[in-house]
Amino acid sequence: MFSWLKNRWHRTGLTAYITHSDCLGHNMGVGHPECPERLIAIRDQLMASQIFDTLQEIDAPLVTPQQLARVHPPRYVDYIEACTPQVGTFRIDPDTAMSPGTLPAAQRAAGAVVKAVELVCEDKVPNAFCAIRPPGHHAESAKSMGFCFFNNIAVGVAHAMSVYKYERVAIVDFDVHHGNGTEEIFKDDPRVLMASMFQHPFFPYCGDTPAGSNPHMHNVPMKAGSGSREFREAVETVWLPALHDFQPQMLFISAGFDAHREDDMGSMGLTESDYEWVTRHLLQIADLYCQGRVVSVLEGGYDLSSLARSVTAHLRALSDT
């Protein structure tokens, strides 16, 4: 099926696996689905599957104020810093809270994507996966929500366009929730194409704009219960034609795994084979137009077993093992 693999753009080195122990320090309370155990489960499964040894683990740096300022106004960053509690939690909204470890975790999460961009764009790694939390795609330019504080992938995209001068960057988002923050940040920037799939109607209850209303936003709302057939049809009929037309110079993936059939955060029916399948198709796009440049960023996925298996399938494709 993937005969194109033999002709893949040749980029040396191991897939970068960028993370940091600070990302375990963010804790929104007992029983919260966005928990530190998510990263532990992913690492354990990668090791058990013998894929971890095929990756290059790299510590995420702290994002700089200048890097954040490309996406988030300084007053918003100041607000997040001011909300950091000394003990306990401070609730931003009913679903999203800060603990003493939240700010360094969020700074590492955004910094990880910046680091991934630098490694990929300077040909030091073939591609990169950021195993980070808190996630980011719900964070708008001046609003935190949906477990998100800084929009990690948007910070990385802005870095790629500012430092490496890319004029066409694509973001693909297959989280079960629409990446409203990413869309809000880039909806008026023709340099960025966003292709997303999400359950609808569902949190955050947006993204279902009529097709063609924004030529560089390609959202595919999907009904609860949609599974592999509907997902693959959307990829083949909407995402891939849009990506071929756009011919991106770099490809980012908002990799949420909560559309898995075992994840009760949503009501969709994907499996780990779907995540491997879509990753390989996105790699084909990257090889055709981006010289293989791909940065993938962890978003959702809250059932620990299916999350870990799905990330493993995703990284199996990225690392071509």
Among all residues, which ones are annotated catalytic? Answer: 138
On whether the CB atoms of residues 145 and 96 are closer than 8 A, the answer is yes
Q: Which two tokens stand for residue 274?
A: 């779907």
Cβ neighbours, 10 Å, residue 233: 12
Burial class (CB in 10 A: 0-12, 13-18, 19+), 103: buried
What residue type is 222 in one-letter code? M
Q: Which two tokens stand for residue 208?
A: 């279902």
DSSP for residue 294: E
On whether the CB atoms of residues 187 and 211 are closer than 8 A, the answer is no
The bridge status of strand 217-222 relative to strand 192-199 is: parallel
Cβ neighbours, 10 Å, residue 291: 15
Q: Which two tokens stand for residue 213?
A: 């209303």
Q: What is the DSSP string of 210-270?
A: PTTSSTTEEEEEE-TT-BHHHHHHHIIIIIHHHHHHH--SEEEEEE--TTBTT-TTS--BB
Q: What is the helix (H) or strand (E) element at residue 296, kind and residue range?
A: strand 294-298
Q: Could you tell me where the DSSP H helices lie in the chain?
A: 37-48, 65-69, 74-82, 102-121, 152-163, 180-186, 228-234, 240-246, 272-289, 304-318
Sequence-ordered list of residues with C-beta below 8 angstroms from that of 7, at least 6 positions apart, any chain: 287
